Amino acid sequence: MAKKKRRGKKSKSKQSVDTSSSSSASNKKSEPTKLTAKFQQIFNQVVRMYERKMYKKGLKSAQKILDKFPHHGDTHAMRGLILNSMDKKKEADVAVKKGLKYAPRSHTCWHVYGMIFRTRHNYAQAAKCFRVALMNDKDNSMILRDMSILQLQIRQLEEFSKSRQKMLKAKSNSKENWLGLAVSKHLLGEHETALSVLKSYRGTQEDFKEPTYAGGEIVMYENMILREFASPERVLKHLDENAFAVKGKMEWVIAKSRVLLRLGRFEDALKGYDRLLSINPENYSFHRGYIYAKLNRKPCHEMSSTTGALDVDYVGTDLPLNLDKDFTSKERETIRELYATTMMKRFPKARAVKIIQILHSTESNFEKVVKKDIMRALLRAQTSYFTVLKTIYRQEPDEMISKQKMEFVTKHLEGLLEEMEDDPPHLKLHAFILLSQHYDLKGDFENALRIADSAISHTPTYVEA
């Protein structure tokens, strides 16, 4: 009997061992598979290969890991990301879902899934995936960065600001994080907060003890924010106080000249624009400021407004739209004389000077100036010249004068074609093209086609005709 009892006890002990071993096996299945040091290095190589777009090598390395660790979720996810980049979307979805099955709490898997949704422009699902990834690793800078970019892209500005605050809190010594937070506050319309963030950043950096280009860009960004909501006096004060920190002085001079013009300090503004024109006489925004300062007046739309930091009239070197709608006929004559004499002597090769002179010329003055300019364009085979003339017609505030200008140029070109010889041969060809474009603008399509056919007959090999 004693022996039997002992046997019974043994059997019980075996059962308890079996159950414990089965429970440990189930725990192992629920836990994510961990790689050995050797295979962890291979996994890191897979990530680098994806970043370098070495997709085939990345897939081979991922397969090596999966042959040894078939339940490693992060590797399945990375394999899916690579397949998605190779435009194998169905295989990519299967691989990523496998990864989530084997590692449902892996921030890497959810991050990868969000990146795949983002490439397919499914931003709502991408944002959900990034949020789950952050729940599993709340301080991961890569996920926070991708999340913030996505929020900015879909205009979730408040969420974008919160993400940027988290990024700054996690890594306060990063310049990108400080500037990112300032930009988020600026976009939300919290101008004073944005300025205080930039001021705090500048106070902690050595870059601002000596002038640098990077430091100067931040100062000018501060000034741009001020121009959007503050008074011109405060904008000017900021520029004067921080002049030492701006190494690239041209942007500083542009900003100061603009604010001086708004304040009605025309002599000081004229000096600034004069300096800018000596650097770049082809910039129409500089000419625009110079003209207003010379006439001792502000632009009409700025009489009652101090905003407009990104006003298109102040940006770029394109023809100045709506330039002459603010001016009286007397002022236009003053501008024409100024550009025909003083400015033409100072900048004889500047096209902007010549075009502004044509813009403000009327009747006999226009005819005299435009004749020379048309011949110059034809001799140089300037196919884009019609764009310049079309802009001049459209900027003329008086519709009758605009039609008269167009009619004069059309008749002048017809006269040139009657008198012109084929020497040089391209001269007549480009006169045909320019005339055809004028008929097309007038809506006379029959004559436009007739002249275009003449151009083709003249030079059949010329593609532009």
Taking the C-alpha atoms of residue 109 and residue 115, their distance in angstroms, rounded to an integer, is: 10
Cβ-contact 239, 256 below 8 angstroms = yes
> What homologous superfamily is domain 45-137 in, according to CATH?
Tetratricopeptide repeat domain (1.25.40.10)
- Per residue in 151-169, pLDDT tens? 999 999 999 999 999 999 9
Cβ-contact 429, 458 below 8 angstroms = yes
What secondary structure does DSSP assign to 133-163, as a single string? HHHH-TT-HHHHHHHHHHHHHTT-HHHHHHH
Half-sphere exposure of 281 (CA within 13 A, CB side): 16
Instruction: State the DSSP code for 296.
Output: T
pLDDT (0 to 100) of residue 11: 40
pLDDT (0 to 100) of residue 173: 87
Provide the residue type at 214 as one letter.
Answer: A
Place of tokens 């102040």: 314
pLDDT (0 to 100) of residue 12: 39
Collect all residues with Cβ–Cβ distance below 8 Å to 390 and sequence separation of at least 6: 441
Provide the residue type at 128 as one letter.
Answer: K
Strands, E assignment, 22-80: none
- Per residue in 84-108, pLDDT tens? 999 999 999 999 999 999 999 999 9
Taking the C-alpha atoms of residue 247 and residue 80, their distance in angstroms, rounded to an integer, is: 48
Q: Which two tokens stand for residue 454?
A: 């003449």
Phi (first) and psi of residue 52, to 5 degrees: -90, 5
Spell 414-450 as b/e; 16+ CB within 10 A means b.
Answer: eebbeeeeeeeeebbbbbbbbbbbbbbbeeeeebbee
Neighbours of 335 (CB within 10 A): 23
Element (H, E) at 167: helix 157-170
* Burial tier of 95 (Cβ tally within 10 Å: 0-12, 13-18, 19+): buried
Provide the whole-model pTM. 0.76
pLDDT (0 to 100) of residue 396: 83
Positive or negative: CA dihedral 344, 347, 349, 352 = negative
pLDDT (0 to 100) of residue 302: 52
Taking the C-alpha atoms of residue 109 and residue 73, their distance in angstroms, rounded to an integer, is: 7
What secondary structure does DSSP assign to 338-378, as a single string? HHHTHHHHH-TT-HHHHHHHHHT--HHHHHHHHHHHHHHHH
Collect all residues with Cβ–Cβ distance below 8 Å to 147 and sequence separation of at least 6: 127, 130, 131, 134, 163
Cβ-contact 73, 103 below 8 angstroms = yes
Q: From first to last of its 465 residues, what are the pLDDT tens digits of the chain? A: 444 444 444 443 333 333 333 333 334 444 667 889 999 999 999 999 999 999 999 999 999 999 999 999 999 999 999 999 999 999 999 999 999 999 999 999 999 999 999 999 999 999 999 999 999 988 888 999 999 999 999 999 999 999 999 999 988 888 899 999 999 999 999 999 999 999 999 887 765 667 888 888 999 999 999 998 899 999 999 999 999 888 888 999 999 999 999 899 999 999 999 999 999 999 888 998 899 999 998 876 554 444 444 444 444 445 554 554 668 888 889 999 999 999 999 999 999 999 999 988 888 889 999 999 999 999 999 888 999 899 889 888 888 888 999 999 999 999 988 888 767 888 899 999 999 999 999 999 999 999 999 999 988 888 775
What secondary structure does DSSP assign to 370-415, as a single string? HHHHHHHHHHTT-TTHHHHHHHHHHH-SSHHHHHHHHHHHHHHHHH
Taking the C-alpha atoms of residue 378 and residue 263, their distance in angstroms, rounded to an integer, is: 45
Half-sphere exposure of 146 (CA within 13 A, CB side): 24
pLDDT (0 to 100) of residue 300: 63
Cβ-contact 259, 232 below 8 angstroms = yes
Q: Which two tokens stand for residue 54?
A: 């070495």
Domain ranges of the chain: 45-137, 361-465
Cβ-contact 412, 371 below 8 angstroms = yes
Cβ-contact 109, 74 below 8 angstroms = yes
pLDDT (0 to 100) of residue 419: 85
